[in-house]
């Protein structure tokens, strides 16, 4: 199993550009989520999904869109990048209840200039 | 409003001694708690968890203590090893009707050889 994979590892965007951060897992996990990590802020939940076709907002959803068409994939879209979205983004998955720990991907470091 | 707080941004401990990392939460409805460890340029990895029906959970060198009345949990690492040097995040969740994990801001542990 590859676990949770994220692409790209690094990305630089100009203000106003759009892009999609990819996340995939091969563990057949129902629950997937996106976090951003900023200095002094810990990990903040952006969006999450409890299964294919079902998504919901986390703590900091503004400026991001998600969709979940398959169990395996959970892409995160930045609609119009802003410098405030400069961060490290982590995707995570777990089998489907809160009693299971989450498995995190290696992260995508995004810089918006 | 930070619902999960780690008030010590950093901690240094001598190798072989005990490391104690603390975490406070404000939402008394949280009923499951987890600790994650994160090395630079990697995603967080699960360390240990505890349900609110327990006050202690032990796994090898790692023990988590939960004090529900104080809304406080702590992670003890005994004995500390240089490889334990990392950032540690606590996280909390509700088990009823939501799959949101709320993370603290992290504590950077440095174990000195």
> Taking Cα atoms as reference points, which of A60, A30, A57, A26 lies closest to residue A43?
A60
CB-CB contact of B112 with B26 (8 Å): no
Strands A76-78, A64-66: parallel, antiparallel or unpaired by DSSP? antiparallel
pLDDT of residue B93: 87
Mutate to test the interface with B, among A2, A25, A30, A43 (most CBs of B within 10 A): A43
User: Are B80 and B15 spatial neighbours (Cβ–Cβ below 8 Å)?
Assistant: yes
| Chain A residue closest in CA terms to B2 | A41
Q: Is A19 helix (H, G, I), strand (E, B) or coil?
A: strand
In this predicted structure, what is the pLDDT of residue A66?
Answer: 97
Is residue B49 within 8 Å of B55, Cβ to Cβ? no
Gap between the Cα atoms of A34 and A88, Å rounded: 11
Task: Give contacts of A107 with chain B, Cβ < 8 Å.
Answer: 41-43
Selection from A1, A7, A2 nearest residue A74 by Cα = A7
- Over 80: is that where the pLDDT of A73 sits? yes
Residue B97 has pLDDT above 90, yes or no: no
Question: With contact defined as beta carbons under 8 Å apart, do A105 and A74 qualify?
Answer: no
Per-residue pLDDT, A40: 81
Token pair belonging to A25: 């897992």
Q: Is the backbone of residue B47 left (phi > 0), alpha (psi -120 to 50) or beta? A: alpha
Residue A98 has pLDDT above 90, yes or no: no
CB pair distance less than 8 Å for A99 and B45:
no
Q: What is the largest CA-CA distance in chain A?
A: 40
Q: What is the pLDDT of residue B57?
A: 97
* Residue of B72 and B101 predicted with greater confidence: B72
Q: Give the pLDDT confidence score for residue B1 in this predicted structure.
A: 67
Choose among B6, B32, B44: nearest Cβ to A99: B32
* Segment B13-42 mean pLDDT: 95
Please count the helices (runs of H) and the strands (runs of E) in chain A. Answer: 0, 11
Paired tokens of A101: 């720990």
Distance to chain B for A19, nearest Cα, Å? 21
- How much of chain B is helix, strand and coil, in % rounded to 5? 5, 55, 45
Q: How much is the pLDDT for A85?
A: 97
Instruction: Please report which confidence band the pLDDT of residue B94 belongs to, taking 50, 70 and 90 as the band edges.
Output: confident
Q: Is the pLDDT of residue A99 over 80?
A: no
pLDDT-derived band at A42 (thresholds 50, 70, 90) equals: confident
Q: How far apart are CA A49 and CA A98, in angstroms?
A: 13
What percentage of chain A exceeds 70 in pLDDT? 96
The closest CB to that of A107, out of B9, B43, B101, belongs to B43
Predicted confidence (pLDDT) per residue in A2-20, tens digit: 899 999 999 999 999 999 9
Q: Are strands B86-93 and B107-112 parallel, antiparallel or unpaired?
A: antiparallel
């Amino acid at each position: 199993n590859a676990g949770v994979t994220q692409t790209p590892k690094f990305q630089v965007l100009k203000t106003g550009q759009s892009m999609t951060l990819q996340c995939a897992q091969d563990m057949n996990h129902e629950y997937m989520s996106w976090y951003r990590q900023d200095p002094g802020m810990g990990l903040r939940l952006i969006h999450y999904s409890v299964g294919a076709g079902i998504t919901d907002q986390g703590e900091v959803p503004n400026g991001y869109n998600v969709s979940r068409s398959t169990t395996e994939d959970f892409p995160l879209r930045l609609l119009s990048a802003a410098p405030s979205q400069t961060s490290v983004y982590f995707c995570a998955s777990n089998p489907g209840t809160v009693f299971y720990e989450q498995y995190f991907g290696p992260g995508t470091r995004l810089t918006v200039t | 409003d930070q619902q999960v707080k780690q008030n010590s941004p950093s901690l240094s401990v001598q190798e072989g001694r005990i490391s104690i990392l603390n975490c406070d939460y404000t939402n008394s409805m949280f009923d499951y708690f987890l600790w994650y460890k994160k090395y630079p340029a990697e995603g967080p990895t699960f360390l240990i968890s505890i349900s609110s029906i327990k006050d202690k959970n032990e796994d090898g060198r790692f023990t988590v203590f939960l004090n529900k009345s104080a809304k406080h949990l702590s992670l003890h690492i005994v004995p500390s090893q240089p490889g334990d040097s990392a950032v540690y995040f606590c996280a909390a969740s509700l088990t009823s009707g939501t799959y949101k994990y709320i993370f603290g801001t992290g504590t950077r542990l440095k174990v000195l050889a």
